[in-house]
Amino acid sequence: MGRWVGLCLLLILAVPVTAASTTIIALDDTPKRILDQGELSLLIDPTREMTLAEATQAWQQGRFRPLPGNLGLGYRPDAVWLHFTITNPADKTQSRWVEIAVPYLDDIRLYHRGPAGQVVQRQAGDRLPQSQKELDYRAHAFKLDLQPGTHQLFLRLQTSSSLSAVVILWQPDAFDKHLRSSYLVLGLYFSLLSTVLLFNLVSWVVARRRVFLVYSGYLFLNALQWAAINGLVSEFVFPEQPLLANLLLGVTLSLAGALAFVFFILILELKRYHPFIYRFSQFGVAASLVTALATPLGHYQTFAPLLLMIAIVASFTMPWPIVRLWRTGVLWSRLLAVAYGAYGVLLIWNIFGTLALIPFDSWNIPIGMTSNLFHVLLLHFAIMLHYRRAEDERKQALETAKQAQQAVLLEKGFRQEQGQLLSMLSHELKNPLATVRLTLDAMTSVAGDEPRRQRIERALSGLDNIIERCSQANRLDQGLLQGQAVPVSVEELLADLVAASHAAARLSITGLDRQLTLHTDPQLLFIVLHNLVENALKYSPKGAPVTIAISRQPGSDDRPGLRWQISNPLAPGLAPPDPERLFDKFYRGDKAQGKSGSGLGLYLARGIADTLDADLSYRPEPDRVHFQLWIPLTSASTS
């Protein structure tokens, strides 16, 4: 039975041809000939069950169509048949090698009918162990000894990835040279990737920046992906496990895609500057991971084109980050923009060819690999430049922080010395002042000396007041002014203020029922109000009234409280104080230097107000000054 089938096959192949018109290849001295000028004809087999006899019959019937270029059908599960004719016009046998220069095709069958009608079948593909291949080579090649005459060749191709092929006819010596040069170029290419990968791993170990780790992972997977696409994994990593090598291509391509999306999210700061692109990139990460999971289940051919379409859409969003980076004017940003743009253009070209959106040619794989060089070289240099600058800025910030810390310590030392000086002055001056006051009280009043005695008394009171404020400021700085909340009668507090004032007649008190009771520290609140009242009396025109207005008013957090507003007109020649410095320690306005004072009153008032959980603010008008003190009816911080 087998002999009859073979005899029928020979008879079919021997039938005169009426096939599609293609260019017949006549052997000459050309070392390399790519069959992309109409030498090939094509038949698609959707059933994937067509036999050689059926394919031959279809060719004879003219059902093969001329293929004007290389084979490029994208991701489809069909089998395809290619046919080409070679004539040897010489009177001797010539050797030629036929290369199918796309390593990732699963199953390749070559049927060769010689001039005598004999049929020889050869097999190749990445599902074949390396030891069973006709040539120990990363792609697929067949050695042909072509006798004088006409040779008919059929190629049957089937794959679980992109159905593309470049068929090349080589002279053996030329193929050997190509073999050596291609491995040299690939060795240099992957050496570069490995060097950059190691450099980024070291950078991650040193700097602990996530972008270096992500980029290292991307480079590793990307290198494996291109090694698998170029057949190096089948040749060197899994030579006798072709299924593992085949799976590795789909898995590494998908995972490299996921890390590429993550890397560009980080380096382009998409979340901050381009939220929509950021969300789409997240979708790209998810699609890449789904494709990686689907590959071992046999669905790579279904999911891969969807993933590549997502990559195309992502590439069309590149102009926005590129324009933003370029407009910064920063060298690293512009390098990143150039690298990102060039990478995107070449990547789109590679993907379009893989999906058969443009004609597939022998440059499709090298273009995809070249796109890598832009981010490996330019982009890597840009990243290094950026993070070196960031590291310099970090060091500068640390140095600035160190200097600031030293300044804080120095200021703290000054404050301690200042506090010690104030404490010493307060202590040393009190005893002499007490002696002077006792002596003054013991003096016998002589007619005409009473005004002089009053002036001395006022001077002593002023000096006493300055000393007391210095002491209070020192205690405030040291955190020693801690109050105790007790019921405080507003009426009694006002009476104490009036009694303590040196110009009580000028005080005008308006507002609510004075029977109201506060829960706060009476001594600290008295200091605040007394300082505000004395400040108003001092810097208002002589004899001008000072108003104390009291009203209920909720605070910013809606707590019930009282608002005390102390208002006075400005004395002639006095400019309103600087609002930014008004509550600073020792601050006095330019026109206030002629009046006695320590510059501590408002500083104390603000500090004690904070202690009482109150709020003290300054509300100036062109010719009047208002200080507002809001205090809660129940003080939380002093209870």
Size (the chain), residues? 639
* 464 to 69, 426, 459, 469: CA distances (angstroms): 105, 9, 8, 9
pLDDT of residue 382: 63
Please provide the DSSP assignment of 360-398 as one string. Answer: --TTHHHHHHHHHHIIIIIIHHHHHHHHHHHHHHHHHHH
Asked if residue 20 has pLDDT above 70, the reply is no
Amino acid symbol at 255: L
Say if residue 75 is in the same domain as residue 197: no
Asked if residue 370 has pLDDT above 90, the reply is no
Amino acid symbol at 79: A
414: helix, coil or strand?
A: helix
Residue 638 confidence class, pLDDT cut points 50, 70, 90: very low
What CATH code is carried by the domain that includes residue 104? 2.60.40.2380
Alpha carbons 584 and 304: distance in angstroms, whole number:
69
66 membership: H or E segment, kind and range:
strand 65-67
- Report the pLDDT averaged over residues 588-606: 61
Please provide the DSSP assignment of 580-595 as one string. Answer: TTTTSTT---GGGTTS
499: helix, coil or strand?
A: helix
Say if residue 622 is in the same domain as residue 521: yes
165 membership: H or E segment, kind and range:
strand 162-165
Say if residue 111 is in the same domain as residue 212: no
Residue 496 confidence class, pLDDT cut points 50, 70, 90: confident
Which tokens belong to 578?
């600087």
Asked if residue 597 has pLDDT above 70, the reply is no
Whether 375 and 337 have beta carbons less than 8 Å apart is answered as: no
298: helix, coil or strand?
A: coil
Residue 260 confidence class, pLDDT cut points 50, 70, 90: very high
Alpha carbons 31 and 181: distance in angstroms, whole number:
15
Asked whether residue 103 is domain-assigned, the answer is: yes
Cβ-proximal residues to 190 (8 Å cutoff; 6+ apart), any chain? 223, 226, 227, 232
Asked whether residue 293 is domain-assigned, the answer is: yes
pLDDT digits (tens, 9 = 90+) for 106-143: 999 999 999 999 999 999 999 999 999 998 899 999 99
pLDDT of residue 74: 94
Task: Choose one of 360, 389, 418: the last residue of a domain.
Answer: 389
Say if residue 164 is in the same domain as residue 202: no
Say if residue 209 is in the same domain as residue 145: no
Total Cβ atoms within 10 A of residue 11? 11
Asked whether residue 82 is domain-assigned, the answer is: yes
Alpha carbons 425 and 161: distance in angstroms, whole number:
91
Residue 12 confidence class, pLDDT cut points 50, 70, 90: very low
Which of 181-190, 205-214, 221-230, 243-252 has the lowest average pLDDT?
205-214
Within 69-139, strands assigned E span 71-75, 79-88, 94-100, 107-113, 119-124
Say if residue 261 is in the same domain as residue 153: no
Residue 639 confidence class, pLDDT cut points 50, 70, 90: very low
Model's pTM, two decimal places? 0.61
152: helix, coil or strand?
A: strand
Asked whether residue 590 is domain-assigned, the answer is: yes
Which tokens belong to 570?
């400005």
Cβ-proximal residues to 458 (8 Å cutoff; 6+ apart), any chain? 502
pLDDT digits (tens, 9 = 90+) for 400-452: 777 878 777 766 665 665 555 555 455 545 555 565 566 656 655 554 566 66
Say if residue 105 is in the same domain as residue 8: yes
- Report the pLDDT averaged over residues 226-236: 94
DSSP-derived pairing of the beta strands 25-26 and 32-34: unpaired
Alpha carbons 279 and 317: distance in angstroms, whole number:
12
Asked whether residue 428 is domain-assigned, the answer is: no
Which tokens belong to 320?
């926005």
Say if residue 149 is in the same domain as residue 259: no
Alpha carbons 458 and 479: distance in angstroms, whole number:
31
Asked whether residue 124 is domain-assigned, the answer is: yes
- Report the pLDDT averaged over residues 493-501: 82
Alpha carbons 113 and 119: distance in angstroms, whole number:
4
Alpha carbons 310 and 287: distance in angstroms, whole number:
8
- Report the pLDDT averaged over residues 214-243: 93
Say if residue 99 is in the same domain as residue 241: no
Cβ-proximal residues to 369 (8 Å cutoff; 6+ apart), any chain? 189, 226
Say if residue 265 is in the same domain as residue 302: yes
> What integer best gives the mean pLDDT of the chain?
82
Cβ-proximal residues to 480 (8 Å cutoff; 6+ apart), any chain? none
Asked whether residue 68 is domain-assigned, the answer is: yes
What CATH code is carried by the domain that includes residue 580? 3.30.565.10
Task: Choose one of 138, 170, 202: the last residue of a domain.
Answer: 170
Which tokens belong to 274?
């381009």
Domain that holds residue 68: 2-170
Say if residue 248 is in the same domain as residue 376: yes
Say if residue 580 is in the same domain as residue 533: yes
161: helix, coil or strand?
A: coil
Residue 560 confidence class, pLDDT cut points 50, 70, 90: confident
Alpha carbons 482 and 638: distance in angstroms, whole number:
7
Whether 85 and 23 have beta carbons less than 8 Å apart is answered as: no
Asked whether residue 414 is domain-assigned, the answer is: no
Convert 231-267 to b/e letters by CB count within 10 Å (16 or more is b).
bbbbbeebeeebeebbbbbbbbbbbbbbbbbbbbbbb
Alpha carbons 108 and 165: distance in angstroms, whole number:
11
pLDDT of residue 611: 76
Total domain count, the chain: 3
- Pure H helices in 443-506: 450-477, 490-500
Task: Choose one of 136, 170, 204: the last residue of a domain.
Answer: 170
- Report the pLDDT averaged over residues 558-567: 85
Alpha carbons 372 and 354: distance in angstroms, whole number:
16
DSSP-derived pairing of the beta strands 167-170 and 94-100: antiparallel
Alpha carbons 23 and 38: distance in angstroms, whole number:
6
* 227 to 103, 232, 292, 375, 600: CA distances (angstroms): 10, 5, 17, 18, 77
Choice between 501 and 128, residue whose per-residue pLDDT is larger: 128
pLDDT of residue 2: 41
- Pure H helices in 504-570: 522-538
Q: Which residues pair with 548 in a beta bridge?
A: 509, 566
Amino acid symbol at 308: L
